Amino acid sequence: MQQLLQLVVNGVALGSVYALAALGFVIVYSATGVVNFAAGQFVMLGTFFGVAAIVQAHFPIALGYLAAVIGMALFGVLFFLGVHLPLRKRPVVSVIIGTVAIGIVMQNAALLIWGPWPARLPSPFGDSAISIAGAAISMHALATIVITALLIAALYALLYRTGIGRSMRAIAQDSEAARLIGLPVTLTLIVTWVLAAGCSAFAGLLVGPMWFADVNMGEPVALKAFAATVIGGFGSVQGAILGGLFVGLVEILGASYLTSTYKDLLAFGVMIAFLLVRPQGIFGERIGDRG
């Protein structure tokens, strides 16, 4: 029982990271239609911005987090200008290959800058654990869940309570019409990329202390975020959250109770099953031709 509680907390914490990564992917997809295959490298870069600020520049952790998130926000703007704009009217395959290509560039730039050796990103909560009902629960795991919950609440407030959020949702529905009625489409798209990069930055900063910071960490995160997105429903914010939590829980519980060698197969098996039976995912809209 203690073990189960511990596993569930760890699963939800890991799932929160996947949910944040999936949110970065989904926000961009719904507003711009861009399927960002570099989403995992965004998370990797978030982790390494944290490493640069906290480990290398010796910033206090809170300031280091802030610096990493601001750095990623600027990177989001750069990505909008350098990748989104040139590829915005291209077929989906060009966007897939283009974002994969830029992901390769990001990964290898990180390799050149930070080298192949894994780094350790400290948690603001150290390695401490608290005891709940006899189970040792890592503070970092709990903090990850709380921070993710706060970020999601902030995201909902932004999307549903502010003008820019309304215009984001309008553009997601129909960008031509949004432009016609005078919404600031370009500005909104920039904000979208900044938000996505911010979500990825937090995913990276929070997953850093769970794993080692490694320039190859982007791919496994991306694959899980894709699975989460498909399961939750393409383009759905709550779908990304639920899908992320599901994939994280399946990974941790599946590895303990079912099979550790095939733990990754569980998530992808569920993803493929969803694609076959219900391609719109749990919360996806009716997608007609797309599905």
Q: How many residues bind other proteins (CB under 8 A)?
A: 50
In the shown chain, the binding pattern of residues 170 to 189 toward other proteins, with x for contact by CB under 8 A and - for none, equals: ----x-x-------------
**149 counts as binding other proteins under rule CB under 8 A:** no
268 is a site residue for other proteins (CB under 8 A)? yes
Q: Which stretch binds other proteins (CB under 8 A): 62-70, 134-142, 163-171, 263-271?
A: 263-271
Give the x/- contact pattern for other proteins in 201-240, rule: CB under 8 A. Answer: ------------------x---x--xx--x---x------
- Residue 43, number of CB atoms within 10 A of its CB: 33
- Shortest approach of other proteins to residue 8 CB, angstroms? 24
Longest dimension (CA), the chain: 60
- Please report which residue ranges of the chain form alpha helices under DSSP H: 2-32, 39-50, 61-79, 85-87, 92-114, 139-161, 163-173, 175-180, 185-207, 218-232, 237-257, 263-277
- Interacting positions 106-145 with other proteins (CB under 8 A): 107-109, 111-112
Interacting residues of 14 by C-beta distance below 8 A, sequence separation 6+: 207, 210, 248, 251, 252
DSSP label at residue 123: P
State how far the Cα of 252 lies from the Cα of 144, in Å rounded to an integer: 16
155 vs 264: CA distance, rounded Å: 29
Q: Binding to other proteins by residue 35, rule CB under 8 A?
A: yes
Instruction: State the residues that interact with other proteins by CB under 8 A.
Output: 33, 35, 83, 86-87, 89-94, 96-98, 100-105, 107-109, 111-112, 174, 176, 219, 223, 226-227, 230, 234, 261-262, 264-265, 268-269, 271-272, 275-276, 279, 285, 287-291
